[in-house]
Structure 1
Amino acid sequence: MLRWTVLLAATVAVTVPLTLVGVPSAALFAALVVGIALALSSAGPAGVPRKLGVAAQGVLGVYIGTMVQQDSLGTLGGHWPVVVGVAVGTLLLSVIAGALLGLRRDVSPLTGSLALVAGGASGLVAIARELGGDDRVVAVVQYLRVGLVTASMPVVVTLIYHADKSRADAASGVPADQAPWYLSLAILVVLVIAGATVGRLIRLPGAGLLGPLALTVALEVSGFSFGLSVPMVLVQAGYMLIGWQAGLAFTRSSLRAVGRLLPAAIALIVAIGVATAGSGVLLAHLTGLTPLEGYLATSPGGVYAVLATAVETGSNVTFVIAAQVVRILLMLFAAPLMARGVVWASRRLGRDQSREITAESREPIRVAD
């Protein structure tokens, strides 16, 4: 109990200042860092209990699902094939970059691919171990991607696109009518339990996350969500559990191995960012958007920073967020299929899983058995 108390207190202490400076998913990042520190000093718990990990996945799945509004995807109009095509292109770029990262001896091709998938960072970290990847590597590289994209966005928007941030549209930030907290909580519990159960029955990989996510998206699109909103205290708790899950699994040897792959990971992240910026130019040309709106719609991460920038610059917020939602959902639902394909290809090519990192994290979170 003392170890859990120290872990919680330290995580909250790190989360608060990170939240104040606008770090995305601050609780997950803080939990990851604190979990690593306590694991390396042998002062933390042994690990996150399985049921808590599954519950955290479910809460996160519902939370991501609520991003899909009934009228948001309709704003894509006749341009949705182009948006989907750009998202698929981003996925292919991620897989290629992951395969290049997987050429290193200390990381498997599967782990490399999951680590560089450009979307749904917290969701991918949550299910990485279950899919057979190393969630420690996935967590570090995914949040490095989010951090680099988020940090570079103000510079790119100002220096390259010369955006005018005085055009903010206050009406864009007005939330839709929300259900009372107790109704949202009841719907959340039903979605998490039903989604995970159905997901297990149909053998859906990552059922704890993708089952509730799929049900929530169905409710939002059909208009029967009743104003569902996930209480932020539960979202933060879910982020912490997922961060701890990866952080507490670290050892000194695995930390050294992750450190050695960071230069290659940073180079590949930058390459993905440049390539997606090019796809943004194409999207803007085909849909009549401004170059800035094309860049924001195809940004490979930092969705909250994207939304804030779109509002501040008077951009087409509904189109931008709809395109971002398509990207995130595609990445999350394609990841399990991609994982199976990478494992199959690795076996065909005689490439085993990483012995240096992945072997210590092979025990899956059994939510799809």
Structure 2
Amino acid sequence: MVRTVGSWSLLAVVTVAVTVGLTLLGVPSAALFAALAVGIVLALCSLAPARVPRRAGQVAQAVLGIYIGTMVHQDSLASLGPHWPIVLAVVVGTLAISILAGALMGLRRDISPLTGALALVAGGASGLVAIARDLGGDDRVVAVVQYLRVGLVTATMPLVVLFIFRPDRSHPSAALGQTATAPWYLSIGLIAVIAVAGVTLGKLVHLPGGGLLGPMAVTVLLEVTGHDFGLSVPQALVQIGYVLIGWQAGVAFTRESLHAIGRALPLAVGLIAALTAATAGLGMLLSHVTGMTPLEGYLATSPGGVYAVLATAVETGSNVTFIVTAQVLRILVMLFAAPLVARGLVALTGRFARRRQSREITDDSKEPIAVAD
């Protein structure tokens, strides 16, 4: 008992300290990065708790699902105007490229096709990490590769914008306005109701990853119909959700799994670079069809780094509303479609997957988080 309390206390204290440091450095989703990194280090030193309680993982999924759902607004699709078909086509193209890259990664003997597909889907990193184990994938691999994608895209974006697009920064755009929000106590009540309703919906329709996608679907419905009652997820709750998801993947690491993931990182970096280049090409197509600038096309189709995209769009005087709406649409499509497509991919390669899947990574994490139980 004392050992358990001590391990949880150590995990919490170190995670908070690292989160503060990463936040000061401007790292996006710092709490999740910190929780993942600290969980890995303590697990490898045999100082971490055995696992995150299943119910805690369920609550974290629901909170993140609702938080992502609040990114959608009633006038979001209207901001795309007549260009919504090409934007949707580009998003679907991004999904197809992501799944192809994931299938290539799944050719490795130590990574299953499902894990590879989820690891390289270009959108909703925290959501995909949250539901990876529920879908039968390895959430440790998904976490490392997904946040490697976010980190690389975010880090290279300023260089791409500066040296390729050379924007005029003398006329910045206005940032997106904030709508009135409900008091925190009312939002907490709404979150609880939406979480229960969303998880129940996920059970009824057998939605993959329903613990996250069910509450997200209910939230999106409320947002687009204008019946959200000013719902706003408190940032403290979001950060707790990030921490739980990061711990869930981090504390499950072993030395063997870390070595296996390390061997896959060169391939992952190459596939992320190829994915970024391919989506930039889709951005140029979007720019040509819609008449937007090449920079706006690039920002609208960037496969990650939403906060960096928003900051760059404002600073360069780009069409912020269009770009952010396209990015949110990308995230939603990836989160809803990726589990279905990934499972389809596994069905097609099923006769090979069991033979090729390495015990080195998957055995410790194949027990699902039974969100729909």
Secondary structure at 1:177's aligned position in 2? coil
8 Å CA contact 1:107, 1:356 repeated in 2: no
Q: Which residue of 2 aligns with 1:247?
A: 250
Deviating above 3 A after TM superposition, structure 1's stretches of 4 or more consecutive aligned residues are 348-354
Q: What's the counterpart of residue 226 of structure 2?
A: 223
The residue that corresponds to 2:199 in the other structure is: 196
In the aligned structure 2, how far is the partner of 1:11 from the partner of 1:305?
Answer: 24
User: Which moves more between the two structures, 173-182 or 234-243?
Assistant: 173-182
Counting aligned pairs with the same residue, the percent is 69
Q: Residue 306 of structure 1 aligns with which residue? A: 309
Q: Deviations over 1:80-107 (max 9, x none)?
A: 1101110111111111111111111111
Give how far 1:270 is off.
0.2
Q: Which residue of 1 aligns with 2:293?
A: 290
Larger CA deviation: 55-64 vs 94-103: 94-103
| Amino acid across the alignment from 2:164 | I
Which residue number in structure 1 is paired with residue 360 of structure 2? 356
Q: Report the Cα distance in structure 2 between the residues aligned to 1:368 and 1:163, rounded to whole angstroms.
A: 48
- Tell me by how many angstroms 1:351 deviates: 5.0
* DSSP 3-state at the match of 1:300: coil
Cα–Cα, structure 1 residues 190 and 154, in superposed 2: closer, same or farther, change >3 Å? same
Scaled by the length of structure 1, the TM-score of the pair is 0.98
Matched residues in 2 for 1:245 and 1:12: separation?
Answer: 16
Q: Does 1:33 find its partner at 2:33?
A: no
Partner of 1:87: 91
- Could you tell me which of 44, 69, 72 is aligned with 1:68? 72
1:181 Cα deviation (Å)? 1.0
Q: What do the CA deviations read for 1:110-136 (whole angstroms, capped 9, x no partner)?
A: 111100000000000000011111000
Aligned-pair CA distance for 1:285: 0.6
**Matching residue of 1:116:** 120
Alpha-carbon distance in 1 for matches of 2:267, 2:339: 24
For the 8 Å contact 1:179–1:228, the answer to whether it is kept is yes
Q: Would you say how many aligned residue pairs link Structure 1 and Structure 2?
A: 368
**Is contact 1:65-1:213 (8 Å) kept?**
yes
State the SS of the aligned residue for 1:240.
helix
2:11, 2:38 within 8 Å by CA — same for their partners in 1? Answer: yes
The aligned amino acid for 1:333 is F
**Structure-2 separation of matches of 1:24 and 1:179:** 25
* Corresponding position of 1:258: 261
Task: Give 1:237 shift.
Answer: 0.2
Q: Is the 8 A contact 2:138 2:361 kept in 1?
A: yes
* Aligned ranges 1:166-205 → 2 under 5 Å: 166-170=170-174, 172-205=175-208
- Supply the distance in 1 between the matched residues of 2:106 and 2:140 (Cα, whole angstroms): 15
Letter in 2 for 1:202: V
**Matching residue of 2:105:** 101
User: What is the match of residue 332 of structure 1?
Assistant: 335
- After TM superposition, give the deviation of residue 314 of structure 1 in Å: 1.1
Secondary structure of the structure 2 residue equivalent to 1:364: coil
Q: Which runs of 5+ in 1 are unaligned?
A: none
Counterpart secondary structure, 1:294:
helix
- Relative distance call for 1:231 and 1:135 in structure 2 (3 A) is same
SS of residue paired to 1:160: helix
TM superposition shift of 1:348? 4.0
**Whole-Å separation in 1 of the counterparts to 2:51 and 2:341:** 28
Q: For the aligned residues, what is the CA RMSD?
A: 1.1
Does the 8 Å contact 1:58/1:212 carry over to 2?
A: yes
- For 2:8 and 2:15, the matched residues in 1 are separated by 10
